Amino acid sequence: MLPSMTTPDLARKVRQLDNDVQAMYELLAGISATQQRQGNRLGEIAAEQAAHREKLDEILGLLRKGGPAVGG
């Protein structure tokens, strides 16, 4: 024990440090949940992009073959 700290001071400091550690774990849990949600959303966006890519490839294929003109 440090010479300037009394037993109650030391106990209070230990409690505060324990509370700080618990608060950090709570923050990390929140960050983890946010990352999971963002990962899920990125997966959805990637699936949408893949669908758009397929549609664009189909359109480009029609244009290269001289497909029907739009509006005509």
Q: pLDDT tens digits, the chain, 72 residues: what are they?
A: 556 778 999 999 999 999 999 999 999 999 999 999 999 999 999 999 999 999 999 999 999 998 666 665
Q: Is 47 helix (H, G, I), strand (E, B) or coil?
A: helix
Structure tokens at 41: 């959303």
CA gap 26, 14 in Å, rounded: 18
Under 8 Å between Cβ of 5 and 13: yes
Residue 69 gets which letter from DSSP? P
pTM, full prediction = 0.61
Distances 34 to 20, 40, 60 between C-alpha atoms, Å: 21, 10, 38
